[in-house]
Copies of this chain bind each other. A is one copy, B any other.
Amino acid sequence: MRRKPGALLPIEEAILAAGLDLRRGGSSEFHGFSIAKRMQDIGEAQRLTAHGTLYKALGRMEAAGLLQSRWEEPDLALAEGRPRRRLYRMTGTGERAASTIRTESERPILGRQAGLAPS
């Protein structure tokens, strides 16, 4: 499946929306697994039990400059007895793309043109 240059796929929109919500809630960073759970909670997007879709989308979005990631401190993960997390943050580009989503959501007639630059 190919995408229109500059367009966002539904899952990418969902990720950006989740990032905005978390930002609003005081957390500027999030990790893949929490996004997956969040999407399950609100019954949004595909179930994503197969995380393949999500993690691939995260990878694409980072490559496209919408997100930026870093690995969390290893000792923190050990202290909490769980695997290490890859933490994501929205870039300025991502925030603008997210804003455009909301704007366009209010105007469904218009085509979507924000987001990813053509490769």
A→B interface (CB under 8 Å): 71, 74, 77-78, 83-84
Contacts and interface: CB of A to CB of B under 8 A. Distances in A.
> What is the copy number of this chain in the assembly?
2
A77 B83 CA distance: 11
A83 B71 CA distance: 12
Contacts of A83: 83-84
A74 B71 CA distance: 10
Contacts of A84: 74, 77-78, 83-84
8 contacts: A71-B78, A74-B74, A74-B84, A77-B84, A78-B84, A83-B83, A83-B84, A84-B84
Nearest to A71: B78
Contacts of A77: 84
Nearest to A73: B74
Contacts of A74: 74, 84
